[in-house]
Amino acid sequence: MNDLLRRGTMRVNERGHLEIGGCDCVLLAKKFGTPLYVMDEELIRANCRRYIAAFKKHYPGSFQVAYAAKAFLVLYMVRLIREEGLWLDVASGGELFTALKAGFPADQILFHGNYKTDEEIVLALRHRVGRIVVDSEEELDRLDQLAGQWGGEARILLRITPGVEAHTHQFNRTGQIDSKFGIPLEEGLALRAIKKALGKNHLLLMGLHCHIGSQVFEKEPFEVAAEVMMGLAAEAKGAFGFELKELNLGGGLGVRYVSEDDPPAVEEFVESLCRAVITNCRRLGLTLPSLLIEPGRSIVGEAGTTLYTVGVVKEVPAVRTYVSVDGGMSDNPRPALYDARYSAVLANRACDAPDCVVTVSGKHCESDTLIRDVRLPRPKPGDLLAVLTTGAYHHSMASNYNRFLRPAVVFVKEGKALVACRRETYDDLLKTEILEPDWKEVADRLASL
């Protein structure tokens, strides 16, 4: 059996069908159609709890785990995150709006973005979000001014680029940081921004933030980032008496898309972060800050599975076999964007032994390969293909390319399936469009500008 099937509530049932959350995937596909995003609620909750338990065990100071909404966000997910006691990291007005609509406490929301529009900032200020993570000196000025107009004080973190860049299997410690995000350490820019923030009338600088990358398999780059950030805090303390109350080390822990992927366990990852912060505090004579992290992928990634119906099987003799399914780059753009790799099983024949290698393609007007070279029992039209580890950055990155309908999302748990987001309809595609403009209204609007 594919070892990636040993996760959460996933199992193969007596009928030889893939089952998640006590629900037979064949029945889910029949009832809700395909493509279908299936989310294992218990696994999401368990992942949240593992983070909290690990911090309780390894960090003597206060801490917060903020779920990174960009990985996957629907109203139901917001509710679940709240029930598990996590905070929420949002990175756009739309994510913030969704969180607020679901009743998430605004003071437990962190608001990110390298360019927050005035409209987004005002939305955040009006609702008094917990922290605004400021990305540039320009934003410091603009935010201070807007906070003054809105008659309040904004609690902020400064996002710093610590010169550590990490991706799967590797990391670089660069002198010169080439990134659109954050304030560089170089040439005293980070120190200058801290000083500027401390001098603002309507901003309260709570601490520092960094995020070094995503799908990271090593602990060391996070430890180096913690060391660099604490070093900066010590310098700022010496220079301007700045006290680091909060340190946010971002997200980034990797998950398993294919059997060879081997990220550290959540517990190991948290332990190494905590140890790095504690050690550097002692070394530099700083008090322990409140420690925050923002995991996204490692909370939802492995909890998601996408079900597709196999439509066409085309053998190109001595070259390859193409298996076309009823979705593609509109529900999963990651192979096209990042050359991402995946594992899959036939959900209706999960006990059959793999006997061929095929390429899974989507049905868009592109060569939208979903998986190149995956071992499967020889697929036939009508089979149900389950692509694993599609919980993070799939639904949230989905599009309507070729006017495809975005799939439904169902949360499964204890044999029940809840539709958290229904499948789009053709009418949904047209709901924002105008065929015959009301020319009088257009003229009036132009005249009023």
Ligand X SMILES: Cc1ncc(COP(=O)(O)O)c(C=O)c1O
Interacting residues toward ligand X by CB under 6 A: 68, 70-71, 89, 112, 211, 214, 250-253, 294-298, 392
State the minimum distance, in angstroms, from the CB of residue 219 to ligand X.
Answer: 14
Min dist CB 289 to ligand X, Å, is 17
**Active-site annotation holds for 365:** yes
Return the number of the residue (222 or 308) whose C-beta is nearest ligand X: 222
Helix (H) or strand (E) holding 234, with range, is helix 220-240
* CA 158 from centre of chain: 20
Residue 277 Cβ, how far from ligand X at the closest point, in Å? 17
Nearest approach in angstroms of CB 392 to ligand X is 6
Helix (H) or strand (E) holding 413: strand 408-413
Q: Which residue's CB is nearer to ligand X, number 341 or number 375?
A: 341
Q: Which of 23, 356, 365, 421 is catalytic?
A: 365
| Lookup result for tokens 């959540």 | 266
Q: What angle do CA 144, 150, 154 make, to 5 degrees?
A: 45
With contact defined as beta carbons under 8 Å apart, do 247 and 210 qualify? no
Smallest gap from residue 135 Cβ to ligand X (A): 10
10 Å Cβ neighbour count for 319? Answer: 8
Q: Which two tokens stand for residue 383?
A: 């089979």
Q: Which lies closer to ligand X via its Cβ, residue 158 or residue 384?
A: 158
Cβ nearer to ligand X, comparing 304 with 379? 304
DSSP letter string, 285-332 = TPPPPEEEE--SHHHHGGGEEEEEEEEEEEEETTTEEEEEES--TTT-
Give exposure, 195-216, as e/b (b: 16+ Cβ within 10 Å): ebbeebebbebbbbbbbbbbbb
Please, which residue, 77 or 347, has the CB nearer to ligand X? 77
**Positions marked catalytic:** 365
